[in-house]
């Protein structure tokens, strides 16, 4: 399995080598094009900034108020019934809003239970098979100026739920 | 919907904070979160520009076109309303490739450009088109094959085999993506019959 980690290290250098090498073969003015493209990156980031500020304030308020802990405490009977560890409920919920907040919770779980425990393995698999629903929705639809999102949220929730259930089953089967 | 969601997050947070006596923490959180967003953006500037620069080179050499060609049957199936040869096909292909490679932050600029083009195709309506819904659902279902960052955190916290979650993760990701695609396809059919 280690060669996959080894392989992961190669992805970005390989992409650079492949694309830059290929551009030399096709006689493209590589550096000029790179600079031109890098300029677009600035525009994209500054377009996102206002949205990001708004979202992170809302998440910060929810996190610091204790509303998320309250929610996982209230839902504990349900998570017990579903054989889902209530310790992982806050991170599963936070991951829907913010991936950096989820990362800090992930490191908390690794510290508390260890990455090779049942919880540590399960949370690793959940985080690698789900995305930040509300963040992605907000950023994409706000940037496009679309306010009526129709069935997108429902579809995103269903697919995230499927990924989470699959993670629990796989963790129990494999380890 | 986003307007309500945002407002409710803030209102619920403040009400719970007042009831639980965490009002000082909330006060700090609003100030710190806005600062955090700016420093995150500054950190993103370099990596984002690195990627858009590289993508510009790839675009100029025609590499993106050949990647798009490889993904064309899948994109055709997922987005039947996009005209053939339209630029949005390239944006969606780049967005998916970046997602698959685990370069989530790099997928966003391409995804946003795809959304802007899809809006033009949808007569600039403020109602999402079926293609927009599919793009979002597929993005949120996670396409990432190798969760490099999670593997790095695992090894940092002393895992004996940090990479052992790769294959289980790929299986879980495939299931979530398949369910998302099925949902999007069925919802599209249902909304057209109406």
B165 pLDDT band, cuts 50/70/90, is confident
- Whole-angstrom Cα distance, residue B93 to residue B131? 14
pLDDT of residue A4: 47
Which of A33, A64, A160 has the CB atom closest to B140's CB atom?
Answer: A160
pLDDT of residue B185: 95
Nearest residue on chain A to B47, alpha-carbon basis? A41
A66 pLDDT band, cuts 50/70/90, is confident
CA distance to partner chain A, nearest, from residue B97 (Å): 12
Interface touch A121/B165, C-beta < 8 Å: yes
How many C-beta atoms lie closer than 10 Å to residue B69's C-beta?
A: 11
Percent of chain A with pLDDT over 90: 33
**Lowest-confidence range among A117-126, B51-60, B181-190?**
B51-60
Q: How far apart are the first and last CA of chain A?
A: 15
Q: Which residues contact A27 (CB under 8 A, 6 or more apart)?
A: none
Pinpoint the alpha helices (H) of chain A.
2-25, 30-65, 67-74, 76-81, 89-95, 99-113, 118-129, 133-144, 152-174
The two tokens of residue B29 are: 């959180």
Tell me the chain A residues in contact with residue B6 when contact means C-beta distances shorter than 8 Å. 54-55, 58, 138
Q: Which residues contact B6 (CB under 8 A, 6 or more apart)?
A: A54, A55, A58, A138
pLDDT of residue A12: 67
pLDDT of residue B105: 62
> At residue B86, does pLDDT exceed 60?
yes
Q: Quick check: B153 and A106 in contact, CB under 8 A?
A: yes
**Lowest-confidence range among A72-76, B37-41, B83-87?**
B37-41
Which of A28, A56, A103 has the CB atom closest to B37's CB atom?
Answer: A56
pLDDT of residue A1: 47
A11 pLDDT band, cuts 50/70/90, is low
Which whole number is the average pLDDT over B106-130?
90
Residue of B47, B107, B137, B170 to mutate when probing chain A, most A C-beta within 10 A: B137
**For chain A, what is the mean pLDDT?**
84
Q: Quick check: A61 and B13 in contact, CB under 8 A?
A: yes
Tell me the chain A residues in contact with residue B30 when contact means C-beta distances shorter than 8 Å. 57, 60-61
CA distance to partner chain B, nearest, from residue A87 (Å): 18
Q: Which residues contact B25 (CB under 8 A, 6 or more apart)?
A: A64, A65, B17
φ, ψ at B28 (rounded to 5°): -65, -40
Interface touch B60/A60, C-beta < 8 Å: no
Nearest residue on chain B to A29, alpha-carbon basis? B57
Distance of CA A135 to the CA centre of its chain: 9
Which of A48, A52, A115 has the CB atom closest to B154's CB atom?
Answer: A115
pLDDT of residue A56: 77
Residue of A57, A98, A160 to mutate when probing chain B, most B C-beta within 10 A: A57
Which of A37, A140, A174 has the CB atom closest to B111's CB atom?
Answer: A140
> At residue B151, does pLDDT exceed 90?
no
Q: Quick check: A157 and A136 in contact, CB under 8 A?
A: no
Interface touch A49/B111, C-beta < 8 Å: no
B1 pLDDT band, cuts 50/70/90, is low
Tell me the chain B residues in contact with residue A125 when contact means C-beta distances shorter than 8 Å. 165, 168-169, 172
B44 pLDDT band, cuts 50/70/90, is low
Distance of CA A80 to the CA centre of its chain: 25
pLDDT of residue A91: 85
CA distance to partner chain B, nearest, from residue A89 (Å): 18
Q: What is the pLDDT of residues A19-65, one digit of tens each?
A: 999 999 998 899 999 999 889 888 877 877 887 788 778 878 887 88
Distance of CA B103 to the CA centre of its chain: 10
B6 pLDDT band, cuts 50/70/90, is confident
pLDDT of residue A154: 95
pLDDT of residue A167: 93
Q: How far apart are the first and last CA of chain B?
A: 22
- Whole-angstrom Cα distance, residue A37 to residue B50? 8
């Amino acid at each position: 399995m280690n060669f996959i980690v080894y392989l992961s290290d190669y992805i970005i250098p390989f992409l650079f080598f492949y694309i830059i090498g290929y551009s030399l073969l096709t006689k493209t003015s590589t550096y000029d094009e790179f600079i031109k493209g890098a300029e677009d990156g600035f525009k994209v980031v500054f377009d996102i900034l206002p949205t990001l500020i708004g979202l992170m304030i809302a998440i910060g308020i929810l996190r610091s108020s204790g509303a998320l802990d309250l929610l996982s405490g209230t839902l504990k009977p349900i998570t017990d019934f579903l054989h889902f560890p209530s310790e992982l409920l806050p991170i599963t919920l936070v991951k829907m809003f913010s991936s950096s907040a989820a990362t800090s919770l992930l490191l908390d779980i690794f510290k508390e239970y260890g990455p090779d425990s049942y919880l540590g393995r399960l949370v690793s698999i959940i985080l690698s098979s789900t995305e930040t629903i509300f963040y992605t929705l907000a950023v994409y639809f706000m940037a496009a100026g679309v306010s009526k999102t129709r069935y997108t949220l429902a579809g995103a929730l269903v697919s995230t739920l499927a990924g989470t259930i699959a993670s629990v089953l796989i963790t129990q089967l494999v380890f | 919907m986003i307007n309500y969601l945002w407002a409710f997050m803030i209102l619920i947070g403040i009400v719970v904070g007042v009831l639980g006596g965490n009002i000082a923490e909330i006060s700090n959180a609003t100030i710190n979160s806005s600062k955090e967003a700016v420093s995150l953006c500054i950190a993103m500037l370099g990596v984002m520009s690195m990627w858009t620069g590289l993508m510009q080179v790839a675009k100029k050499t025609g590499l993106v076109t050949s990647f798009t060609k490889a993904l064309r049957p899948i994109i055709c199936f997922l987005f039947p309303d996009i005209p053939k040869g339209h630029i949005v096909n390239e944006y969606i292909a780049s967005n998916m490739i970046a997602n698959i490679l685990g370069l989530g932050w790099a997928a966003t600029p391409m995804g946003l450009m795809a959304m802007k083009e899809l809006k033009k195709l949808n007569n600039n309506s403020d109602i999402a088109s079926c293609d927009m819904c599919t793009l979002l659902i597929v993005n949120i279902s996670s396409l990432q094959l190798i969760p490099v960052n999670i593997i790095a955190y695992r090894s940092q916290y002393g895992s004996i085999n940090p990479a052992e979650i790769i294959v289980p993760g790929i299986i879980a990701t495939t299931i979530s993506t398949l369910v998302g695609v099925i949902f999007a396809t069925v919802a599209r059919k249902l909304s057209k019959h109406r």
